[in-house]
A and B are shown apart, each in its own frame.
Chain A
Amino acid sequence: MAAVAGARWKRWVFLYLPLGAFVVVTLFPFYYMAVTSIRPDQEMYIPWNRPNFAPFWTLRPTLEHFALLFRETLFVRWLLNTLMISTLSTAIALFCGLLAAYALARLRFPMGGTLGSGIFVTYLVPQTLLFIPLGEVIRNFHLGDTPWALILTYPTFLIPFCTWLLMGYFRTIPRELEECAQIDGATRVQAMVRIIFPVAMPGILSAGIFAFTHAWNEFIYALVFLSSAQNKTIPVGVVSELVRGDTFFWGPLMAGALLGSVPVAFIYSFFVEQYVSAMTGAVKG
């Protein structure tokens, strides 16, 4: 009996309490974001060492920050921009990645291994290495300050990932499946499109979810390639329009941050398993 009590005590100290603390620290900024977004200004700007500083909740919740966000900024426009850019770039990346992954996983051709490694290496090229020359390239193609600047460049960091993940997925599908189809008279391409792609749907979904969240979160390309307010994405719009010099409009900023986070968090909550498998799959290669 004493041994069991001892074990339980140990589980609390070494497992539940530290894990609980970790989760609280992990989630607290989001909670604080939410509270700040509904806190009236006169309550918000009280120095922290005053006795009436009540940080964890507010007794007079207000929607004035959201109202300001929708009335005085182009937030809805930014939301639609982000949605469109993320969706289209994910679609392009999935299309390119799906075809490339099939070729690399299933077909025998000279230089196949080298090309595979090449695509993997571009996966590791960070956006910050290229943003200045890429900005020039974008201007030369006359894409500057248009959504296409992002729709066409985001796939560069999404394709390698999608290819890599789908290659792994294709390898788990037995070859016999398409061989059977080919014996039944289907061409190689028909077997690929009708048999293999549908079987790979879970992998495609994982890659798509992961790619979409990445595109949604991208910042530096959007910051550098877009200039007019109505073309911006949420992260760039919120930062550039609600911070004036040294003045931060914290209420609307937090409201914008919250609303900009909700769509990805929402999608993610439906596809947690796919997301995690994509993430761990991407790492395992």
Chain B
Amino acid sequence: MPQPAESAPATVLSKPTPIRTAAFGLGRLRRASRTERREWLLALILLTPALVMLGLFVAYPFVRGIWLGLLDSVVGREGQFVGLQNYAKLWNDSIFRRTAQNTFIYTGCATFLKLTLGMLVALMLNNLVGFKRILRASMLLPWIVPTVLSTLAWKWMLDPTFSIVNWILYQVGFIRLRVDWLGGPVMAMGSVILVNVWRGTPFFAITLLAGLQTISPDVYEAASIDGANAWQRFWKVTWPLLMPVTMVVVLFSVIQTFADFQLVYILTGGGPANSTHLFATYAYQIGVATGKLGEGAAASLAMFPVLFMVVLFQLWYIRRGEGGKGGA
């Protein structure tokens, strides 16, 4: 058993190196050879365009947004510093509270449904022999086409008077009276989630399918020989092996769904009576439509804590995966 004992100090030794690099960067620069320095210079030159773009149009506006959230700016007038007043105002705003609640419900329900459906479709596609490529290609259309444009088609399909969805459901015998898909708060929220699921499921299905295809059939064979049925094979073999892919897909989707704008903007415009707003659409309504820039910036920054935690979790998860690979 000498192996674990040997590998443990190795990790201890290898771990502090990055910290030393960062702390003694200057020292290293002095000690660096000519070729090393040239490599650093080249790296700096190559990274400059990307860093300039991201600095100017992501980092700077972000800092500016934090500052703007502390001002009472209105379009056309310089703002005064008001501290956390914008946030206090939002906290006491019943529409904003509703908005926060909506965003969590929207993200939770839509992500759960997309994962479930996407997984089912991926498993089915993985078992399909022919037609796989053409199905995969046509399935991705909702993901390719501008969301605004496909959502317009949905809005037309869910129109209170001319709804084809109602017509189909009536013909099949599911409904007797018309359903007002976007009329009431609950139905409207449900419709918005439905369209999001329609748009996002292909992404889940295709990426999960790519993950499934990397799992060797031998593993299933071994599990079958051990007497596992399909249900057990999925939960004991597929699900754990697919976990890294699932995790990343879900986190990506959570971020996008949480920060969604287009779908709600087109389908309900946040209505009826401000009951289906998400953070982004409400921030737009305050900041752009009514021109209260400070308050609007604060409303959109309210998304930040959740997004930040998801990103941190994702970074941690990826790092952990890399560490695992490196150690193995």
Contacts and interface: CB of A to CB of B under 8 A. Distances in A.
Most buried by A among B22, B64, B146, B310: B146
Contacts of A135: 288
Interface stretch (B89-97, B105-113, B123-131, B185-193): B123-131
Interface string B130-168: 000101111111101111111011111101011110110
B34 to A, nearest CB: 13
B207 interface: yes
Give the interface SS of chain A, mostly helix, strand, loop or mixed: helix
A257 B150 contact: yes
Interface stretch (A66-74, A197-205, A216-224): A216-224
Most buried by B among A29, A49, A188, A217: A29
A264 B141 CA distance: 10
Given A18-B120, A124-B255, A239-B152, A112 B142 contact: no
Interface string A128-151: 111111111100000000000000
Contact of B156 (A121, A124, A238, A253): A253
Interface size bracket, B side: 35 or more
Interface stretch (B3-11, B221-229, B231-239, B293-301): B293-301
A26 B198 contact: yes
A44 B261 contact: no
B162 A45 contact: yes
Interface string A94-106: 0111011011100
Contacts, number: 297
B2 interface: no
Contacts of B259: 126-129
B54 A156 contact: yes
A220 B83 CA distance: 28
A120 B255 CA distance: 14
Contacts of B249: 283
A152 interface: yes
B50 A96 contact: yes
B148 A239 contact: yes
A269 B261 CA distance: 27
Contacts of A122: 54, 58
A235 interface: yes
B40 to A, nearest CB: 4
A36 B248 CA distance: 38
B54 A239 contact: no
A49 B259 CA distance: 37
A189 to B, nearest CB: 7
Nearest to B68: A133
B312 to A, nearest CB: 9
A61 interface: no
B65 A19 contact: no
Most buried by A among B53, B201, B256: B53
A192 to B, nearest CB: 9
Contacts of A110: 21-22, 25, 28-29, 40
Interface string A178-211: 0000000000110000000000000000000000
A269 B38 CA distance: 44
Most buried by B among A47, A102, A133, A163: A133
B182 interface: no
A276 B202 contact: no
Contact of A280 (B29, B155, B206): B206
22 contacts: A19-B135, A23-B138, A30-B141, A33-B153, A102-B46, A110-B40, A119-B50, A126-B303, A129-B259, A130-B61, A130-B300, A132-B68, A156-B53, A159-B53, A188-B42, A217-B145, A257-B149, A261-B146, A264-B144, A268-B144, A279-B203, A284-B248
Interface of B: 18, 21-22, 25, 28-29, 36, 38-40, 42-44, 46-47, 49-51, 53-54, 56-58, 60-62, 64-65, 68, 117, 120-121, 124-125, 127-128, 133, 135-142, 144-150, 152-157, 159, 161-164, 166-167, 170, 178, 198, 201-203, 206-207, 210-211, 245, 248-249, 252, 255-256, 258-262, 265-266, 279-280, 283-284, 287-288, 293, 296-297, 300-301, 303-304, 307, 310-311, 314-315, 318
Please name the 4 residue pairs, one residue from A and one from B, whose CB atoms are nearest each other, closest first: A126-B259, A133-B65, A128-B280, A280-B210
Interface of A: 14-15, 18-19, 22-23, 25-27, 29-30, 32-33, 36, 44-49, 53, 55, 92, 95-97, 99-100, 102-104, 107-115, 117, 119-122, 124-137, 152-153, 155-156, 159-160, 163, 188-189, 213, 216-217, 219-220, 224, 234-236, 238-239, 248, 250, 253-254, 256-257, 260-261, 264-265, 268-269, 272, 275-276, 279-280, 283-285
